[in-house]
């Protein structure tokens, strides 16, 4: 009887669904939006993100990418699980009707075990409290978000500034008038949502076939909690 209990415990520990694969320490994921594609700055965003991550850990490398021709409502929900309904509806339509690019970064330094991709990616992306135009001409700054507005988009941001000042900026206005160059996860549940956007062949190529069962079990667990 004792032997059976030990065997059962060992099987549970080894089960992919119960392991913590520390995906966030090994891989970082971002979603390049159609705004960046339309503006022709996809490569610029990826290059700046990689450069910023390498400053924090030289072992970070670009692991792969895949083009998403459109996302289903359930996929958008996985990527933005905590988004307000008003914004979620707008994002669902936008991401469903337009292509985006899913990018993966990998920590290749075998001696680095605790690199926090979620934290460091958001640090490189930068924070923004209000989409007001800056006093300068716009363009690339210290963070990716500081590129909003780009110089060619100043008029649309000035229009949004007026709506903000008037208190008449609706959710639809916000989505239409702002550029969302890149999305990055704020927690492991959102990271898992992005992971599930990869098709099986791309997952095998980027994450390794030997990791897929464990990673898939982790992603399903994180997105079902």
Confirm whether 143 is domain-assigned: no
Confirm whether 133 is domain-assigned: no
Confirm whether 155 is domain-assigned: no
Confirm whether 2 is domain-assigned: no
The SS3 call for residue 17 is coil
Confirm whether 185 is domain-assigned: yes
Least confident piece of the model among 15-19, 90-94, 169-173, 179-183: 15-19
Confirm whether 145 is domain-assigned: no
Range of the structural domain that residue 73 is part of: 12-126+181-224
Least confident piece of the model among 34-43, 68-77, 80-89, 165-174: 165-174
Task: State the chain's mean pLDDT as an integer.
Answer: 81
CATH number, residue 195: 3.30.70.141
Preceding omega of 149 cis (within 30 degrees of 0): yes
Confirm whether 175 is domain-assigned: no
Under a CB-based contact definition with an 8 Å cutoff, are residues 103 and 46 in contact?
yes
Quick check: 9 pLDDT over 60?
Answer: no
Average pLDDT over residues 58-63: 97
Quick check: 20 pLDDT over 80?
Answer: no
Count of structural domains within the chain: 1
Least confident piece of the model among 22-26, 131-135, 149-153, 172-176: 131-135
Average pLDDT over residues 217-225: 91
């Amino acid at each position: 009887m004792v032997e059976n209990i030990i065997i059962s415990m060992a099987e549970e520990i080894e089960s992919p669904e119960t392991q913590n694969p520390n995906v966030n320490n090994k891989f970082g994921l971002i979603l390049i939006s159609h705004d960046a594609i339309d503006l022709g700055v996809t490569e610029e965003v990826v290059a700046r993100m990689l450069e910023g991550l390498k400053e924090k850990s030289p072992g970070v490398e670009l692991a792969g990418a895949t083009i998403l021709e459109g996302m289903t409502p359930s996929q958008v929900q996985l990527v933005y699980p905590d988004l307000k309904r008003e914004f979620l509806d707008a994002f669902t339509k936008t991401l469903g009707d337009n292509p985006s690019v899913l990018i993966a970064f990998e920590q290749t330094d075998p001696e680095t075990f605790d690199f926090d991709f979620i934290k460091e990616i958001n640090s490189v992306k930068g924070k923004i409290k209000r989409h007001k135009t800056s006093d300068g001409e716009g363009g690339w700054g210290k963070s990716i978000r500081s590129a909003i507005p780009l110089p060619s988009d100043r008029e649309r941001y000035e229009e949004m500034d007026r709506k903000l000042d008037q208190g008449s900026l609706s959710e639809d206005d916000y989505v239409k008038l702002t550029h969302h160059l890149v999305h990055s996860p704020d927690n492991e549940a959102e990271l898992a949502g992005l992971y599930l956007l990869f098709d099986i062949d791309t997952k095998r190529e980027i994450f390794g076939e030997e990791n897929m069962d464990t990673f898939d079990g982790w992603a399903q667990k994180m997105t079902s909690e």
